[in-house]
Amino acid sequence: MKRRNFLISPPALALGAAAAPALALSAPAIISPAARILPREGKGPRIVICGGGWGGLTAARYLRELIPNADVVVLDRNPTFWSGPMSNKWLVDIVNTDFVQHDLMRPANRYGYKLLQTEVTAFERDKKLVHTTHGLIEYDYLILSGGIRDAWDAWFGDDQRAIEHTRRHYASAYIPNQQMFGLKQRVKDFKGGTLVMTLPPPPHRCPPSPYERACLIASHIKKNKIPGKIVILDPKPKIAPIGVGYKQAFDELYADIITHVPNARVQEVDPFNKKIKTSAGELKFDEAIFMPPHQAADMVWHAGLIGKDATTGKPTGWADMHPHLFHAHSDDNVYFVGDLMGAISPQFGHYPKSGHVANYIGRIVAKYIAQRVAGQEVKAMLPDNLCYMMVNTEPQEEISVKFEYEVDAKGQVNQTQIDMDVRSGDLVKEDFAWARGMFSDFLAI
């Protein structure tokens, strides 16, 4: 096997399109990463979406609907979709695996876009080319929707041994992949002692969800009478969002299990000797769920589209983009959808990095591209956000947070946050209805 060529067996390559079944590859096939693959189809624009998660799959569906002759291609490294939302509930067996893990071919076939299981590795934006491990793919418009990456280097520099050890033993599974099963096994195997959870500094993926995870693991500890404690090391000065609701849950349901430590910024981690030092003190742990700072997925770095801090000139870690139109400042053929997006407003910074927002922005970006293709004026649109969080399992009760947005007289987007701090069973029903509605929207379930 030559270094630049490799053999693909059929399961390694998922390729589907209801509108173009002839594209299914006859495998095994030799494909070179340097060869052009997926020739354009029809006369419509070619839109390549890098990342088939909450945002990317939504954009794909609506692009196919709004621009019927568009040649839409979704690229994802994973063979299946794994949902972040509801995954904390899956960790403690409130929902089954088939509630959070889904077939990617179903929406591809239903909505008529192409799907390729591959790794996006680089871009030649001047030639409008995406590099993948399977070959080069042309585009007219490019959507980057790869989610986040864990910035382990913020803790360990280039100490790859420490990074690998931490990833293997203490991963948070905040990025959809097989880490979820490892994490679930660790929760099941936890027989007692101190379980430490670190929260990343804002902005990060789904801010209320680490507290939900703490509550659900605490409910598992309580139910199974495990002699264990959870220590949440939080860099923020207080719990947020839904701070009152979470504090009540910690105090009223898990007083002897959960300790929340504010202002705990991680300074040193020794994963081998199970020690962590923060600005709020040092701790030894038996088990850990570690979240280093989150940043935009590697693909934004590969595309050279990471923002720079206006004062320091250092990378912001997030996409450099127009705050209302969501395309790159330096390249209006490249759009951003989902968690990798950069700051929106001086008032609140980033849109919440949630599946709800990723879905909303996916729809908005599909509209923006459709308006451009039709030669129409692009009209800026705003999303909203809604997150439900389970805090109690016996009985099942949730709290929630809602965000609304409006543009002020200066043209800046302002945010209103509405916390629902009173836990209730009604919110559980709303949550499941929300999740089913979302899955129906972009997974065709």
Residues near ligand FAD (CB under 6 A): 51-56, 75-78, 84-85, 87-88, 119-120, 145-147, 174, 176, 205-206, 209, 297-299, 338-339, 353-356, 358, 387-388
Question: Whose Cβ is closer to ligand FAD: residue 98's or residue 377's?
Answer: 98
Which residues pair with residue 47 across a beta bridge?
A: 72, 141
Would you say 50 or 370 has its CB closer to ligand FAD?
A: 50
Phi-psi region of 132 (alpha: psi -120 to 50; beta: other; left: phi over 0): beta
Angstrom distance (rounded) from CA 350 to CA 148 = 14
Taking the complex as a whole, how short is the minimal distance between the CB of residue 159 and ligand FAD, in angstroms? 23
Q: Which is nearer to ligand FAD, 119 or 404 (CB)?
A: 119
CB 261, CB 237: distance < 8 Å: no
Q: For ligand FAD, which is the closer residue by CB, 56 or 274? A: 56
Closer CB to ligand FAD, residue 274 or residue 300? Answer: 300
Shortest distance in whole angstroms from residue 272 CB to ligand FAD: 26
In angstroms, give the least distance from the CB of 145 to ligand FAD.
5
Instruction: Identify whether the C-beta of residue 61 lies closer than 8 Å to the C-beta of residue 107.
Output: yes
Whichever of 338 and 383 has its CB closer to ligand FAD, that residue is 338
Nearer to ligand FAD among residue 298 and residue 404 (C-beta): 298
User: Taking phi first (over 0 means left), then psi (-120 to 50 degrees means alpha), and beta for anything else, what does residue 86 get?
Assistant: left
**Smallest separation, CB 162 to ligand FAD (Å):** 23
Min separation Cβ 192 and ligand FAD, Å = 24
The answer to whether the CB of 87 falls within 8 A of the CB of 101 is: no
Tell me how far, at minimum, the Cβ of 215 lies from ligand FAD, in Å.
12
Tell me the C-alpha distance between 98 and 95, whole Å. 8
Structure tokens at 2: 């030559």
- Take residue 187 and report the two structure tokens written for it: 């929760």
Helices (H) and strands (E) counted in the chain, each on its own, are 12, 28
Q: Give the residue with the Cβ less far from ligand FAD, 88 or 219.
A: 88
Rg (CA), the chain: 22
Q: How far is the CB of 338 from ligand FAD (least distance, A)?
A: 2
> Beta-strand (E) ranges in 9-144?
15-16, 29-31, 46-50, 71-76, 80-82, 101-103, 114-117, 120-124, 129-132, 135-138, 141-144
What is the spatial distance between Cα 18 and Cα 296, in angstroms, rounded to a whole number?
32
Q: How far is the CB of 211 from ligand FAD (least distance, A)?
A: 11
